[in-house]
Amino acid sequence: MKRKPKALIIYTGGTIGMVKDSYTGALMPVNFERLLANIPEIVKLDIELDIHTFEQTLDSSNVLPEHWIQMVETIEKNYDRYDGFVILHGSDTMAHSASAVSFMIENLSKPVIFTGSQLPIGVLRTDAKENFITALEIAVMKENDLPKVTEVCVYFEYHLLKGNRTTKFSSSHFNAFTSTNYPPLAEAGVQILFNDNILRKHNGLPTKFYKKLDPNIAILKIFPGMTENYVRGVLQIEGIKAIVLETFGSGNAPTSDWFISALKEAIARDIIIVNVTQCPSGSVMQGKYNTSSALGEIGVLSGQDITSEAALVKLMFLLANSPDLDTVRQKFPIPLKEEMTINEWA
């Protein structure tokens, strides 16, 4: 007899598992058994489910790098026992978590699907049921006895997105996530239609799990009228090792002498600076315009079309798992998990 497929649900918290407090009206997390009681349809999936619940369930605003490590440790401990993994997570920092886990598991050969909801599971119009049920289906789906998906993904509102390409763009629509620079891996309608041309294929190499991250990163968002004190204040944070510089358009920034000098001085102190566009779509093309040429000349690295979320956690990952800063500088511009696309201005 063919065995049932097995999935491990990793319940971290988030809106999907919340109910309203009868006294305050605020949303509060509930235990997983109560969550499942609101999805009686789940028995029709014919999947063997096990649950790992975080000891302290989290609103995703409270998720830290230590929790990404906990997710990876849970997957590693259970890797050989399950066909796939579904991580229930709050939507606010889901893109950060999915990006982080994608870098922390090398040669992944099984699906790791992040999902959640915009409305709690017990609310009449909730999006939680569809997101959860379809994420579970994809997590155990096989083709020729091999997992259909072998990467870290986000499933939300009928779309399966590459985890390290996602950004939350809406707090009020069920379609909360976008992946503007990378097409969906699949779309769920009457059938789940996969984009087979871009699905990652397992390379057959042993899976490796990394459990170190370095959080000494800052984001410096430029804006018209920013002061020298603001810029230098960020660049001189004690212990800082890398900066995600969020620039205008295709990587453009002010050409003021003080601004370029401040960045140059930081780079001379071995601080790595990465140029990422503030635009939700498009790529940094450092050197295309005069307003970005100086950045490349002083040693700012182009983030190309990487998201700010992925840039942030990629730096945390590389700083913690590289022998020196020169290796980080060499590796950052290279796609590790298809998180960026190299362009002619790289």
Tell me the catalytic residues: 15
The amino acid that residue 36 corresponds to is: L
Strands (E) across the chain are located at: 6-13, 18-20, 27-29, 48-58, 84-88, 105-106, 112-115, 142-143, 146-147, 152-156, 159-162, 167-168, 177-178, 186-188, 192-194, 208-209, 217-221, 242-247, 272-277, 301-302
DSSP 299-321: TPEE-TT--HHHHHHHHHHHHHH
Q: What letter represents residue 175's amino acid?
A: N
- Contact of 222 with 247, CB cutoff 8 Å: yes
Q: Which of 98, 188, 186 is nearest to 148 (CA)?
A: 186
Q: Which of 44, 58, 107 is nearest to 87 (CA)?
A: 58
Tell how far CA 119 is from the center of its chain. 21
Buried b (16+ CB within 10 A) or exposed e, 83-120: bbbbbbbbbbbbbbbbbbbbbbbeebbbbbbbbbbbbb
